[in-house]
A = this chain, B = another copy of it.
Amino acid sequence: MSSPTSKPFRERAEELFRKLQDEITSTLEALDGSGKRFFQDSWERPGGGGGRSRILTEGDVFEKAGVNFSAVHGEAPQSLHGGNQELTFFATGISLVLHPHSPKIPTVHANFRYFEQSNGLSWFGGGMDLTPSYLVEDDARHFHSTLKSVCDKHDSTHYPRFKQWCDEYFYIKHRNETRGVGGIFFDNVSGDTEAEREANFEFVEEIGRAFLPAYVPIVERHKGESFTEEERRWQLLRRGRYVEFNLVYDRGTRFGLETNGRIESILMSLPTLARWEYDMHPAPGSPEAKLEEVLKNPKEWAA
């Protein structure tokens, strides 16, 4: 038997995410164009498994780009095993955050993961979302429609559900705004039958491969544009909000901090520089205000 299903999902998922990391980092190196390579930091998890964190900083395009792969296993955390010490878990995933230098190029985040427990439960999760400092409607439309066309091939309910989930998840409650123009977010995608689980795997594989076509053209479009110090300052203020979201709300970050996760990998998502100013509001009608408007009222970008 050499069909894809002859291998257990955990192996196939691990292989997929490892390959995705390779494809993404080599494409980003070429896109950055500085000749800089990702630095790889391989690490082991004391409880079982490990990962490889890849970082590129101070490139021509990317101020900080982190692409992390991990495959870990061990005894399930107390919160999951509910006293059943026999329960073990396996988790593998890729997660990335790219912070470009230029305020004209959006920050982007993507994450895909597979989780399996020894009691037979297994599920996929993931998503990706775009965080511009300046709203370019064509970028938002391109990003969303790339994701929508992959989603639609699998299930016509995926995109509307996952788009809304994303708007709800990446929401900075105390600012009453979303983190960016969204994308998709999904979790606990499981299946009752082998065929359903196979379909889920194929969806995650295809949406994972959609990351580069969803994001790279946006970088290409804006990488030659100049920007002012004032635009850079606004970008750093927006990054302050990014930090607020990640440290206050992001479940992965908070779970990692609370459970003694690998700090450097968890906080790889934070930008090199972030800025806060007291009670700062952009002038009405300005490009900065135009962004805020859409963060407060999420729109449909791929209807």
Copies in the complex: 2
- Of the residues B173, B254, B277, B279, contact of A41 by C-beta under 8 Å: B279
A278 touches B248 (CB 8 A): no
> Is A267 at the interface (CB under 8 A from chain B)?
yes
A279 touches B257 (CB 8 A): no
B residues within 8 A CB of A247? 243-244, 247-248
**A271 to B274 Cα, complex, angstroms:** 9
Residues 261-292 of chain A, each 1 if its beta carbon lies under 8 Å from chain B, else 0? 00110111011111111110000000000000
**Known pairs A243-B243, A247-B248, A248-B247; A278 contacts B174 (CB<8 A):** no
**A247 to B246 Cα, complex, angstroms:** 10
B residues within 8 A CB of A243? 243, 247, 274
Residues 150-192 of chain A, each 1 if its beta carbon lies under 8 Å from chain B, else 0? 0000000000000000000000011100000000000000000
Q: A64-B278, A248-B248 are in contact. List 6 more A-B contacts (CB 8 A).
A: A64-B276, A244-B247, A271-B276, A272-B275, A272-B277, A273-B274
29 cross-chain CB contacts under 8 A: A53-B278, A55-B278, A57-B277, A57-B278, A64-B276, A66-B278, A173-B257, A174-B257, A236-B273, A240-B270, A243-B243, A243-B274, A244-B247, A244-B267, A247-B247, A247-B248, A248-B248, A248-B254, A248-B257, A264-B279, A267-B276, A268-B278, A271-B276, A272-B275, A272-B276, A273-B274, A274-B274, A274-B275, A274-B276
